[in-house]
């Protein structure tokens, strides 16, 4: 178990090993679920992609060229992986 200190401003700094364990890097986000009895469950927030983001992933990348199905599938896979859905 890791013990963290709270500053006078109510802030907590997580140790590097905690962030590594959660797979978080600077700019990452943490989800905190408040549970009964003064407990909480914490996990790394994983970004979820939207259809709107996926629908526009090819815009401006083809210079008007027609893409093959393989090229379209690769672009979709790349956009999905970038949104955190590549697992």
- The CATH classification of domain 1-45, taken from the options 3.40.50.150, 3.90.1170.50, 2.10.260.10, 1.20.1070.10: 2.10.260.10
Domain boundaries, the chain: 1-45, 51-82
Alpha helices per DSSP H over the chain: 16-22, 51-55, 69-82
CB 85 within 8 A of CB 54: no
pTM of the model: 0.48
pLDDT tens-digit profile of 32-64?
999 999 999 999 988 777 777 777 776 776 677
């Amino acid at each position: 178990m890791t013990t963290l200190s709270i500053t006078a401003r109510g802030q907590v700094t997580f140790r590097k090993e905690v962030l590594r364990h959660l797979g978080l890097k600077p700019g990452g986000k943490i989800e905190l679920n408040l549970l009964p009895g003064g407990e909480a469950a914490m996990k790394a927030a994983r970004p979820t992609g939207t259809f709107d983001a996926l629908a526009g992933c090819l815009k401006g990348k083809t210079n008007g060229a027609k893409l093959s199905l393989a090229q379209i599938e690769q672009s979709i896979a790349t956009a999905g992986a970038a949104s955190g859905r590549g697992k």
